[in-house]
Every structure is written in structure tokens, then in C-alpha cells.
Amino acid sequence: MPNPGTLYIVSTPIGNLEDITLRALRVLREVNVIAAEDTRQSRKLLSYYEIKTPLISYREENREKQGKYILRLLKEGKDVALISDAGTPCLSDPGVHLVNLALEAGIRVSPVPGPSAVVAALSAAGVPTHPFLFLGFLPQRKGRRRRLFTELKKLPYTIVFYESPHRFKDTLNILVEIMPNSLVVAARELTKLYEEIKRGSPAELLEYYSRKGIKGEFTVIVTNKKLDY
């Protein structure tokens, strides 16, 4: 019986295709299969770097079936790279289920670190980062988001979350109501051509984006903490 393969968790660019490590490129070329959340999106990256490794789909809708298939490949001695649409897998995407399957089966899981929207936004925000609390995507319902921020404002953490453009102003309105004195950093289109990182109070950002309009996904940072100089 062959030795089991390795599941590589490979971080890929969040926008600028040049933001990929040499190790990530080597791993993507050497593995037997790449499992991608959206194969159409991932083919752009692979085509850019002329990587011919077979690509299969692994997403929330098929994770149970594909997870079993990928686990079988790993047990047969095949190496598999898991990538998400952008950034580091397993942060707000279904990759965590595959990693858990592999670990429970005694399969080696090896991270290939690189881009992450959370880390990129925090690095350029100029706010206290220890400790910080990452929320992923917020609840869709306004009532649940309002209750969430009511609880979070009591905690001594810098808060980081993802937000879609069509809900961003609603979230700012909630922050105006519940955390009016907080500092908000809105990082939009990170590493892309129209990258923008905007800081201000919830009211200031609400006024700015009401005038400007909103396009692109946001990584949002909210804090009541002050830098300890």
C-alpha cells in the first residue's frame, strides 16, 4: 500500500497576480491535483503562470462528495493542493472541512502561506492589532448584525470582517448607531488597480461612500482601541 500523499493548503493572490510565493508556484506545478473553489477563477492564475496541473472543483455545494474523492486520492499517495478563489484557504470558505477530513484520516496537511485580505488590511490600517477578532462574513439580517455589534462593543478587541458592497452602507448605519466613536478602516479592492483604504468614524465613512458609490468587496476593521506609543 502506498504512503499517503500530502494535502497542501496554498495561498494565492487576492488581486494582483504577482503576489504569489515561489514555493506556492512550485507546489502547484508538482502536485497531482489542484482542488479549487471556483475553477474558472483559478484557471486565470494557472494560465498566467503556465501551470498545467489537473484542476478539480471543491466548493460548499459539493464538499461532501468531492471531499471523499480527494481523500481517496490522498490515501492512494497523490499530493493535492487546495486553493480558494483568493487569499488563504479555510478562512471563510469550505476548505476547513477538507482539512479536517484529512487530519482525521492521518493525512499530512502542510500550509503554504501567502496573501490574506485580513492580514493585508491590518498591516496597512495603523490600528492596534493585538488582540484582534476575525468575524468572516457578517450575518445577512440587520437585526442579527445589530445584536452582534451590541455584544462586540463590550470586548477589548480590534474587529475585522468581510462585507459585500450592497450591504456595506447598512453596516455603517448600524455602527453609527451602536459604535459611533469607533475608528473604521474600509479596505476595498486590496492589491488591485483601484485599491482604496479609507479611515474615519462610521458617520464619516457613511457620508463618503454615500457620495462616492460602492464597488468591490471590503475588508473592514473596527476598533475602539488606541495605539500605545
Superfamily of domain 6-115: Tetrapyrrole methylase, N-terminal domain (3.40.1010.10)
Cα distance between residue 178 and residue 173, in whole Å: 9
The domain locations on the chain are 6-115, 118-223
Query: Does 2 score more than 90 pLDDT?
Result: no
The sheet with strand 80-83 has its strands ordered as 55-57, 33-36, 80-83, 6-10, 108-112
- Global pTM reads 0.91
Neighbours of 63 (CB within 10 A): 20
Per CATH, which fold does 118-223 belong to?
Answer: 3.30.950
Cα distance between residue 181 and residue 179, in whole Å: 6
The residue type at 17: L
Mean pLDDT score across all residues of the chain:
94
- Contact, 181 vs 223, CB < 8 A? no
Three-state DSSP at 195 gives coil
Query: Does 147 score more than 70 pLDDT?
Result: yes
Strands 80-83 and 55-57: unpaired
Out of 17-21, 91-95, 108-112, 179-183, least confident range: 91-95
User: Which whole number is the average pLDDT over 69-86?
Assistant: 97
Confidence band (pLDDT; 50, 70, 90) for 228?
low
Query: Does 121 score more than 90 pLDDT?
Result: yes
Query: Does 1 score more than 80 pLDDT?
Result: no
pLDDT tens for residues 179-193? 999 999 999 999 999
Query: Does 229 score more than 60 pLDDT?
Result: no
